[in-house]
Amino acid sequence: MLKGEIFINQVKQRITIQSVERQPEDQITITVDRNDLPEAVRMLYYDMGGWLSTMIPNDERQLNGNFALYYVLSMEGGKMTAEDEVAQDEKCWITVRALVPAADPTFPSVTCKVPAAVWYEREAFDLFGLRAIGLPDPRRLVLADDWPANLHPLRKDAMDYRYRPDPVAHQDEPDYEFMHPKGSGGVVDVPLGPLHITSDEPGHFRLYCDGDTIIDADFRLFYQHRGMEKLAENRMNYDQMGYLAERVCGICGYAHAISCIEAAERAIGLEIPLRAQAMRVICLEIERLHSHLLNIGLACEVTGNVNAFMHIFRIREFSMELAQFVTGGRKTYGNVVMGGLRRDMSGVEIKKSLDLLKIIEKQLKEVWEAVMDDSAQVGRWKGVGILDPKVARDFSPVGPNVRGSGFKRDSRYDHPYDFFDKIEFNVAVEHGCDVFSREMVRYRELLESISIIRQCFEMMPGGQTIISPQTMIKPGAYALGNDEAPRGENMHWIMHGNAQKVYRWRCRAATYNNWPSLRYQFRGNTIADAALIVCSLDPCYSCTERVTVVDVKSHKSKVLTHQDLKRYSQTLKNSPLKNM
Which residues make up each annotated binding site for Fe cation?
Answer: 252, 543
Residue stretches of the annotated binding site for Mg(2+): 229
The Cα-based distances of 255 to 198, 280, 283, 295, 329 in angstroms read 13, 9, 9, 17, 16
Residue ranges for the binding site? 229, 249, 252, 540, 543
Nearest-5° Cα angle at 447, 446 to 449: 65
Strands 92-101 and 27-32: parallel
Vertex 282: Cα angle to 277 and 285 (nearest 5): 125
Residue 543 near residue 200 (C-beta atoms within 8 A): yes
- What single letter denotes the amino acid at residue 460? M
Angstrom distance (rounded) from CA 511 to CA 196: 7
CA Rg value for the chain: 23
d(CA 349, CA 329): 13
Nearest residue to 341 via CA among 228, 257, 237: 257
Angstrom CA distances, 21 to 5, 93, 131, 473, stand at 12, 12, 26, 18
Whether 485 contacts 262, CB under 8 Å = no
| Number of C-beta neighbours around residue 161 at 10 A | 12
Q: Which residues are annotated as a binding site for Ni(2+)?
A: 249, 252, 540
Rounded to the nearest 5 degrees, what angle is found at the Cα of 373, between the Cα atoms of 385 and 562?
Answer: 40
b/e per residue 270-292 (b: at least 16 CB within 10 A): bebbbbbbbbbbbbbbbbbbbbb
Q: Which of 575, 543, 556 is nearest to 199 (CA)?
A: 543
